Each structure stands twice: as structure tokens, then as C-alpha cells.
Amino acid sequence: MYGVFSVQNHHISGYEEEVRQGKQVAEVAKRVGVSQLVYSGAGPGVQGSGVGSWETKREVAAYIGTLDLPATILHPTAFMELMTERKFFPAASVWHLMPKLMGADRPVGWLTVEDLAVIVATAFSDPDRFIGREVMLASDVQSIAACRAIWREVTGRPPRQFPMAPLAVRAVRRHRRDDHVAMAGRERC
């Protein structure tokens, strides 16, 4: 087996299971002697972000580093499809909740899923360049306000409106475990 691409989803399994699965994939990759493991982390890849999904991926990436395994760690930023594709997180999160939590003018790093796929393929095709590296990924940096303007320019209409009652926003802010609240305080590009 040449290589393994590894990414886990905490929305499906929870944080603890995400870490267990990520470590297990790395252990199996080492045991079978893969030539390269490409792991998709998230966020800045530094400890103490307060964002659960970033912390779990950082923990898995750190574990991979202890295995003497030929690996590449990628840190993609927010996916552009979060604004456009229903199969991703509801667009209400990006268009309405994120600006209320972090401000509409704060820069956000964006990446498309297709860009990530091309980068993963490139890492596999050029292992000498990528093995042993951690790479932050962003195709563009735009605020939510700028994205809203681009959306309007391209589609001729604003993004779909979702009522976001002030009480709901306050409730989300109170629950500090929520990744969106933590990201609002940490997102920097």
C-alpha cells in the first residue's frame, strides 16, 4: 500500500472517538509500512485554541509525529462549500451565526474541498517535498461581509435570510464548548 489519506469527523463520532480513530489509522499505516500518511487536521494546529475540533486534530497530528511515520499534516481552513452546499453545515451558520459571534468584517481563511483534494494528490505525487511538513491551507481570505458582497454580485441576490433571534445567539455564546464561539475568538489568517 502506497499511502493513506486520513480525516475523521467529530460530528459523526464525537471528539474522543475522532482521536481514537485518527490514532488507530496512523498505527495501522505504520504497521503495514505505508510510504506516506497524509492527515487532514484543521485550524492553526496549535494547542490551546479552545476549539474542540481543532484540539482533537492537533492531538492526532502530535501523535502521528511520535510514530516515526512518513507523514504530511495539512491544516485546511473553513470550506467555501459551507456557504453554498446543503450537504455541508447549514449555510445559516456562515451567513448569520458566524458574523454575530466574530463580526462580519473579520478575515476568514477559505478553501474549497476540490482544492484540498488537489493538494492531497500533490502531496502524494511529490513526497520528498511534503513528508515531514505541516502545511496551513487557504485559497482565499475574505470576511463574511466580503463573501456576502461577492455572493450578491454573482447571484444577483443576497444569501438566504434565516431569522437569528438575539436569545438564540446569547444561548450559543453562553455555551463556551461550542466550536463556533471558540473559533470566533481565534480565527486569524
pLDDT in tens, 4-27: 999 998 888 889 999 999 999 999
Burial 88-103 (b: 16+ CB within 10 A, else e): ebebeebbbbbbbbbe
| Rounded CA separation 52/94 (Å) | 18
Residue closest to 87 by CA, chosen among 113, 117, 68 = 113
Query: What is the value of pTM for the model shown?
Result: 0.80
At 176, the pLDDT band (50, 70, 90 cuts) reads very low
Per-residue DSSP letter, 160: P
Residue written as grid cell 495501522? 28
- How confident is the model over 31-59, as pLDDT tens digits? 999 999 999 988 766 676 777 777 889 99
What the chain holds in terms of domains, given with CATH numbers, is: 3-186 (3.40.50.720)
